Amino acid sequence: MVVEIKKVGVIGAGQMGSGIAHVCAVAGFDVALNDISKDRIQSGLASINGNMARQVSKGQLDEESRTAALDRITPADSMDQLADVDLVIESAVENEQIKRKIFTQLCPLLKPEAILATNTSSISITRLAATTDRPERFIGIHFMNPVPLMELVELVRGIATEDETFEASKVFTRKLGKTIAVAEDFPAFMVNRILLPMINEAIYTLYEGVGSVEAIDTAMKLGANHPMGPLQLADFIGLDTCLSIMQVLYEGLADSKYRPCPLLVKYVEAGWLGRKTQRGFYDYRGETPVPTR
Ligand SMILES: CC(=O)CC(=O)SCCNC(=O)CCNC(=O)[C@H](O)C(C)(C)COP(=O)(O)OP(=O)(O)OC[C@H]1O[C@@H](n2cnc3c(N)ncnc32)[C@H](O)[C@@H]1OP(=O)(O)O
Ligand SMILES: NC(=O)C1=CN([C@@H]2O[C@H](COP(=O)(O)OP(=O)(O)OC[C@H]3O[C@@H](n4cnc5c(N)ncnc54)[C@H](OP(=O)(O)O)[C@@H]3O)[C@@H](O)[C@H]2O)C=CC1
């Protein structure tokens, strides 16, 4: 029996969690948006409102749909408010211990038939599933950033994920208007297995002095027709997330070609995480981003 999804819980109200709540609400799902910090839930709701207003100004959404969608999103200060959801999508920070802790706290609160999904960029679905009370109803639903604009969603089954869970996740993802690519449960799946080593190589190119931040990004935008340069994209993703993904690839595939660039490590250690901290390879505090190297 395929579970019918009507209400979605989103855990983590950062850039991805907010984007996921946004697209679910616009598609007609009721959403409960949770985060460890109440302030983050409020800032997440504010960014959703801003992004929907942008879609209205571009004629991609009418005002009535925007207000109806916003009304479908409930701030869930406590995980207890996820007790009646049919699907949870975890989108907290890319840290396995934190994700495991969330699942341990969350599972006893959920309906037995609720599906539990993670938006992880890279971590083993099989291993995360094993920490829950429902490995057969656990799956990777991996959105791309920014969620309202990016068409792709990677679906990743763990070894125990049942067909009913996979089918329900496909129906749900299609209702969001997304295109599905199915990846097997290997480190960083498909998109990040290919994209992050490219970004890491761009950081090595900077670290070794081959080019400046601006030259490297210009080279790839004009030379390879990328919409964003790799360093601009790294700042957009978040340098902490980029580093976590490279570490998962390096440890998971045991190949030195995935070793994170020391400059990436240093930026994360300095707290320069990119757009979300106003500083990474660019400084975002002014009118336009300024290269920092
Ligand atoms: C890390 C993982 O696990 C997986 C991943 O996500 S990997 C990363 C995948 N994402 C990418 O590669 C993104 C690459 N960048 C792009 O495709 C484009 O730069 C972009 C779609 C983000 C922006 O489009 P653009 O035309 O080049 O620039 P821009 O004009 O700034 O944005 C176009 C529209 O999208 C909107 N937009 C930009 N960022 C946005 C965001 N974070 N949320 C919602 N809307 C956004 C802009 O507001 C803009 O609308 P306006 O023209 O009204 O301002
Ligand atoms: N960034 C990207 O381009 C993409 C990221 N992803 C994945 O999505 C997930 C989220 O990434 P992203 O949105 O960029 O990260 P952000 O740092 O923007 O947001 C993470 C959010 O999780 C919150 N959080 C931390 N611990 C907990 C907890 N125990 N319970 C609830 N919330 C918690 C953080 O709060 P606080 O800040 O207060 O700690 C923050 O609000 C990661 O797994 C990432 O790999 C997937 C696709 C693309």
**End position of a domain, from candidates 166, 184, 202:** 184
Mean pLDDT of 122-150: 98
**End position of a domain, from candidates 162, 184, 206:** 184
pLDDT mean across residues, the chain: 97
**End position of a domain, from candidates 184, 218, 252:** 184
Residue 40 CA: which ligand 2 atom is closest?
41
Q: Is 94 annotated as a binding residue?
A: yes
Q: Quote the pLDDT of residue 104.
A: 97
Q: Return the CATH number at 258.
A: 1.10.1040.10
Q: What is the pLDDT of residues 87-103, one digit of tens each?
A: 999 999 999 999 999 99
Tokens linked to 101: 């802790």
How much of the chain exceeds pLDDT 70, in percent? 99
For ligand 1, is residue 144 a contact (CB within 6 Å)? Answer: yes
CA gyration radius for the chain? 19
For ligand 2, is residue 102 a contact (CB within 6 Å)? Answer: yes
Catalytic residue from among 142, 169, 200, 244: 142
Are 226 and 278 found together in one domain? yes
CB 239 within 8 A of CB 267: yes
Assess whether pLDDT exceeds 70 at residue 162: yes
The DSSP output letter for 273 is: -
Confidence class of residue 3 from pLDDT cuts 50, 70 and 90?
A: confident
Confidence class of residue 2 from pLDDT cuts 50, 70 and 90?
A: low
3-state secondary structure at position 128: helix
Helices (H), ranges, the chain: 15-26, 38-57, 63-71, 96-106, 125-129, 163-175, 191-207, 213-223, 230-237, 239-253, 262-269
Q: Quote the pLDDT of residue 289.
A: 97
**Amino acid code (one letter) for 21:** A
Assess whether pLDDT exceeds 80 at residue 1: no
CB 14 within 8 A of CB 93: yes
Residue 68 alpha carbon to ligand 1 centre in Å: 24
Question: Is 1 contained in some domain?
Answer: no
Assess whether pLDDT exceeds 90 at residue 64: yes
Confidence class of residue 212 from pLDDT cuts 50, 70 and 90?
A: very high
Mean pLDDT of 135-142: 98
Residues 90 and 52: their CA atoms lie apart, in Å, by 22
Question: Is 2 contained in some domain?
Answer: no
pTM above 0.90, yes or no: yes
Are 20 and 158 found together in one domain? yes
Assess whether pLDDT exceeds 70 at residue 129: yes
Q: Quote the pLDDT of residue 286.
A: 95
Query: Is 121 known to be catalytic?
Result: yes
Confidence class of residue 4 from pLDDT cuts 50, 70 and 90?
A: confident
Assess whether pLDDT exceeds 80 at residue 124: yes
Are 72 and 145 found together in one domain? yes
Residue nearest to atom 10 of ligand 1 (CA): 145
Assess whether pLDDT exceeds 80 at residue 120: yes
How much of the chain exceeds pLDDT 90, in percent? 98
Q: Dump the DSSP string for 47-88.
A: HHHHHHHHHHHTTSS-HHHHHHHHHTEEEESSGGGGTT-SEE
Residues 171 and 75: their CA atoms lie apart, in Å, by 25
Which residue out of 99, 145, 192 has the highest number of ligand 1 atoms within 8 Å of its CB and is therefore the one to mutate?
145
Dihedral of CA atoms 130, 134, 137, 143 in degrees, nearest 10, equals -60
Task: Give buried/exposed letters for 7-43 (b at 16+ CB in 10 A, else e).
Answer: bbbbbbbbbbbbbbbbbbbbbebbbbbbbeeeebbee
Query: Is 192 known to be catalytic?
Result: yes
Q: Return the CATH number at 15.
A: 3.40.50.720
